Structure 1
Amino acid sequence: MSNEKPEQLQSDVIESVQKVPFFKLSLAQWSLHRSFRKKEKDLFQFAPIAKEMGFEGVEYVSMLYLKEIKKLGFDKVIDSLNAMSELSGVRNVLIMVDEEGDLASPDEADRNEAVENHKKWVDAGQRLGCHSIRVNLRGSSGAKEWEEASVAGLSRLAGYAADKHINIIVENHGGFSSNAAMLVEVIQEVHLPNVGVLPDFGNFCMEKNEDNTCAGGKDYNRYKGVEEMMPMAKGVSAKSYDFDEKGNETKIDYYKMLQIVKNSGYSSYIGVEYEGDRLSEEEGTLATKALLLNAAESLK
């Protein structure tokens, strides 16, 4: 029998409730992409790995499975992932789709081909019970052409996804898509309930130099960008690169960023996406998770 007084027990309960974050945690598979590509980790064990690391949900990266799909077949790969997530008690949150063509191509034939290529991932998302697939709209033409093509590509793919109850969400992922104001304008013009965005705390470089550094004046303000995107966000990606001795991200003020997310009224999954190389993938992932939870405790 506990010797604690009722007042102390009540205080402990209140403190425990206060520590519950306003969001749920998912793990973006890209955080561990080196380990998966080197075969140090089994792609089909992603869900149990995420569960063991303390995550409630998983976010798949389509291109990591291309070899397995070619070898085993698309359906078998998706069914295997679904079985493992069910066994692990982990929620399949979304699929990050890459290398399936340019949905913002100014060439209608190329754009339509990209739409067709993405459809199988919409189907996969439905079978896995995901709420969304993430797509790219980096752009390869002028701003006006990009906007028109993006609206056309998104609208067509979203029309297919609507009946399957899958959202099509766009990440700020380079090029014009990293200009949050322009991306928001595209989403508003599409004006469909199953089209939204996946704000990423990083990825606000609109133009890179040959050495992969951001060109001068081509880095969109990350806090302004996330704030602009949050009203139409159907997911959030907590990108991280490195941490100081206090556990804070060295490039991104997570306290400021999370306050923006909370102020928007968002309360669903935040995906951890570690992209650094100083810490191991596991260390960086867990450091990002810890920072999110610590920052959440301090918010107003």
Structure 2
Amino acid sequence: MTEIAKVSQLSNQIIDEVERAVVGKRDLLEAIMASILAGGHVLLEDYPGLGKTLIARSFASALGLDFKRIQFTPDLLPGDITGGYIFNRSKNQFELRQGPVFTNILLADEINRASPKTQSALLEAMQEGQVTMEGESLKLPDPFLVLATQNPIEYEGTFPLPEAQLDRFMVKLTVGYPSLEEEKEILKRRRERRQDELTLKQVTKPKQLVEMRAALETVHVDSDLEGYISALVHATRTDRRVAVGASPRGSLAFLKMARARAVLSGRDFILPDDVKHFAVPVLSHRLLLQPEYWMSKQINGDVIRDVLRSTPVPVTR
């Protein structure tokens, strides 16, 4: 079995295991698994009670990763995330007390409820995989992933994430309500197991995930497809409805997510469909609209769909 085939098999085993806890969200779980393989952070924006915390905890269990959760509130301080040095009287010296950011998967719940100063405490961790305290840079565990949530309807007492921080999330996803049949299945499973908690089986270890990520670098990318990605991102910068288009970081996210989708499909090369599949999750949070469109939440998606329609798709062998 090839390395790509092994990674594909393990990845689908992880998704299957998470599906034991999360009903009817296969496409969403595949997108999150692709982002995990690509080494990116995930922003989940949706209503309360749809299982965002359950999804994060389930992936941590199936991947065998350490998991911590922070409930963001207006009075949360940067030190509550990173930790700090505390004086130990018995030893007569300062000791580092690590904050919850020192983990593998960090769930930043309702991230937009914290002040900009506290939100920025995650910037270095998300980009560099380290935290700087008292002039000393401390490495975070590898792998490290931030899975952040925010509520799209309650804006009172919130602080919208700045563009610089939004850009550091590889994808922005929504969970969505379950269908009627899926909701019946949720109730049925809860009744049958006779308890709230569901114990999931560990599929991989942290070291295995690092090796799985390395396998993505072997996926072939045709130069025409690199040009296609560049053309899509460039088109977002010239659309009249957009004030600021996607950055080169968006192009790199496109490349990584396309490779991850190819691996999930068991292929060692990417197709145009791999690029198009993640266009909205990769680009929607990276576009800053002109002021006259600020009140419309649909314009971002419209821009991306128009860009996909107007950009020629390369023919690959």
TM-score, normalised with respect to structure 1? 0.33
Relative contact order, higher structure (CA 8 A, sep 6+): 2
